[in-house]
Amino acid sequence: MSVSVRRVEAQRAAREVDVRPEAVPVLQMRGIEKRFGGVHALKGVDLTLQAGQVIALIGENGAGKSTLMKILGGILAPDAGEILIDGKAVVMRSASDAIRYGISFIHQELNVLDNLDVAGNVFLGREPVRGGFLRLLDRKRMQEETEEHLRRLGVGIRSTTPLSELTIAQRQMVEIAKALSLKARILIMDEPTSSLTLQETERLLEVVLELRRQGVAIIYISHRLNEVERIADRVIVLRDGERVGVLERDEITHERMVRMMVGRELENYYQHPRVKIEPGYFVVKDLRTARYPRERVSFEIGKGEILGLAGLVGAGRTDVAEAIFGIGAAQDGVRVRLAGEEIAIRSPRDAIRHGIYLVPEDRRRTGLILEATIRENVTLPAVERYARAGLIALARERHSATEICRRLNVKAPSVETWVSALSGGNQQKVVLAKWLALEPRVLIFDEPTRGIDVGAKAEIYELMRQLAESGVAILMISSEMEEILNVSDRVAVMHEGRLMGVLGRDECCEEAIMRLAVGQAN
């Protein structure tokens, strides 16, 4: 881990040399304007990109990053402004136009097909053919070229491996290989590390720097400022559709970026609990998950405590969280002790009945019904509270949902707004609202701030802190080291299904956590 950090640092030091500002920029966007109905999404944004340069585009959700990139990717047309490639003005009407100009877009949600192999994905839609009119797939050529690009990226994936056997990080490499085979000179990466483990993130950053060395121009969108700090040559900050700041290499610091993004200072550092933690409130003993049935996980969370659960992706943290919530436990459910009472949990209903709630990792799949209103989502676990004889009293339901949304500061026109129309941060608040209305005793957060902007993050941390102080026991799974260190009272660390140890506040630091996470016992 620390070795690769050093390697990245070394690469960064070495590359200061080869930026050539006098060359014609490979991309210039000038005065880009875009309106959606009454919303002024982009207000004259400029962006200049040189070959072999990494520009980080940051800003809160809704700041206009995606809109700007969709315009560059040919998906949206700008209302005003011009785009110059190699100094020549171009008009892009579609994504395929953009690809022709050497622009490739790696989306946050990867666009790969599970049922094809790596080469099939890289060449999807432009497969080389042989055999004349028979148009047979030239598999050999596909494989050879794919292998070549994979080698260039320095990843050890075979071109014949089915995508279904690859991890998310590897699939991403396949997308990058595809971009290379499209001869991309401008690579847009949207939140590329949001679902990667720490190690995979390191690997990806190395690849980004390698591509940069090979002369590819990269636009890197990320909420993770540590990454930005390490790889960006220049940072462009957007806020409310405006370019509010540009930071050059030596000006890029975490604090400056945060300040520009939110337009105010944030203190999101660890606050000592303002109430006394009562240990032994929620006790999990010998929990076995279906994924790691041989391991027995035991831990406890105090009343008023936030226990962080760290580990690499695949360490089995989500499995533990879901097992406690009544999903996917090995054999016949789970036994836990809550406030001295033995509880058997066989289904989410059991967990919910005892005030044990889960804010799941994948809120779009398991946390929310996207195509339903905020009201319906918030009251879903307990509609019967607003019902008499099985019939829902809509007015009461709406009133209660409105109340809780106001408490959580959910930004939406009304509780009748569809959840799919909300930003990630507000969607996460709606998930939280579901449970807060039900007086939680134990709350499990699985990656609570994934894909959420800085402002909403701070709000969610503050809420967690308040909940803990009101006597809730909180388990927080997170892959963001910052978050683990800033929010937890203690940190438990898992590795391949085993709980490696629990670190107290005074002994928990990045190194100690990483040691346990990679399987070295203390």
Partner 1 sequence: MKKELGTFVLLVVLCAIVAAINPRFLTPTNLQNMSRLIGAFGILSLGLGVVIITGGIDLSVGSILALLGVLLSIMLVEWRWPPAFVVVVALAIGAGLGAIHGFLIAYWRIQAFIVTLCGLLFYRGLARFIAQDETKGFGSAKGFEWLHELATGEVWGVPTPFVLLIALSAVMWVVLHRSVYGRYLFAVGRNEEAARYSGIDTRLIIASAYVISGFLAGLAGIIFAFYTNSISPSSHGNFFELYAIAAAVLGGCSLRGGEGSVVGILVGTALLQVLQNLVNLLGIPSSLNFAVMGAVILIGVVADQLLRGRKG
x-marked contacts with partner 1 along 486-515 as a string, rule CB under 8 A: ------------------------------
Encoded amino acid at 391, one letter: L
- Is the Cβ of residue 155 or residue 370 nearer to partner 1 in the bound state? 370
DSSP string over 170-237: HHHHHHHHHHHHTT-SEEEEESTTTT--HHHHHHHHHHHHHHHHTT-EEEEE-S-HHHHHHH-SEEEE
- Terminal Cα-to-Cα distance of the chain (whole angstroms): 17
How far apart (Å, rounded) are the C-alpha atoms in residues 40 and 28? 21
Site for partner 1 in 393-422 (CB under 8 A): 394
Work out the angle at residue 424's Cα, subtended by the Cα atoms of residues 96 and 5, and round it to the nearest 5 degrees: 80
Give all strands (DSSP E) within 230-353, no chain letters.
234-239, 242-248, 278-287, 297-303, 306-311, 334-338, 341-345
Residue 365: DSSP 8-state: I
5, 89, 372, 509: which one contacts partner 1 (CB under 8 A)? 372
For residue 260, the minimal CB distance to partner 1 (Å) is 34
Per-residue tokens: 66: 């995606």
**What are the residues facing 282 on neighbouring strands?**
301, 338
Task: Please say which residue, 344 or 383, places its beta carbon nearer to partner 1.
Answer: 383
C-alpha torsion 171→122→451→485, nearest 10: 40
Non-local CB neighbours of 183 within 8 Å, separated by 6+ positions: 102
CA distances from 381 to 240, 410, 434 (A): 35, 19, 7
Task: Give the number of C-alpha atoms closer than 13 A to the C-alpha of residue 93, restricted to the C-beta side.
Answer: 0
Residue listed under structure tokens 């171009």: 90
- The minimum distance between CB 73 and partner 1, in angstroms, equals 19
Q: Which of 351, 433, 467, 494 binds partner 1 (CB under 8 A)?
A: 351
Query: Closer to partner 1 at the Cβ: 64 or 360?
Result: 360
| SS3 state of residue 36 | strand
- Name the nearest CA neighbour of 107 among 180, 26, 179: 179
Closest CA to 197 of 167, 157, 154: 167
Residue 390 found at the interface with partner 1 (CB under 8 A) = yes
Sole window of 60-68, 140-148, 219-227, 390-398 interacting with partner 1 (rule: CB under 8 A):
390-398
Question: Which lies closer to partner 1 via its Cβ, residue 177 or residue 419?
Answer: 419
Q: With contact defined as beta carbons under 8 Å apart, do 117 and 150 qualify?
A: no
Determine, following the binding rule CB under 8 A, whether residue 370 of this chain makes contact with partner 1: yes
Q: Under the criterion CB under 8 A, does residue 75 sit at the interface with partner 1?
A: no
Q: Using CB under 8 A, pick the residue from 26, 209, 368, 503 that binds partner 1.
A: 368
Q: Which is nearer to partner 1, 136 or 372 (CB)?
A: 372
Closest distance of CB 49 from partner 1, Å:
31
Min dist CB 494 to partner 1, Å, is 22
Contact by Cβ (8 Å): 444, 436: no
**Segment lying near partner 1 (by CB under 8 A), choices 83-91, 303-311, 366-374, 402-410:** 366-374
Choose the stretch contacting partner 1; rule: CB under 8 A; options: 218-226, 257-265, 381-389, 474-482: 381-389
Residues 283-342 that bind partner 1 (CB under 8 A): 325, 327
Among residues 376, 447, 480, 489, the one that binds partner 1 under rule CB under 8 A: 376
Report residue 282 as tokens.
Answer: 């929620």
Which residues in the 425-464 window bind partner 1 by CB under 8 A? 434
CB of 399 to partner 1, least distance (A): 17
Of 26 and 345, the one with the shorter C-beta distance to partner 1 is 345
Residue list 205-264, contact with partner 1 (CB under 8 A): none
Binding site for partner 1 (CB under 8 A): 325, 327, 347-349, 351-352, 358, 360, 365-372, 376, 380-381, 383-384, 387, 390-392, 394, 434
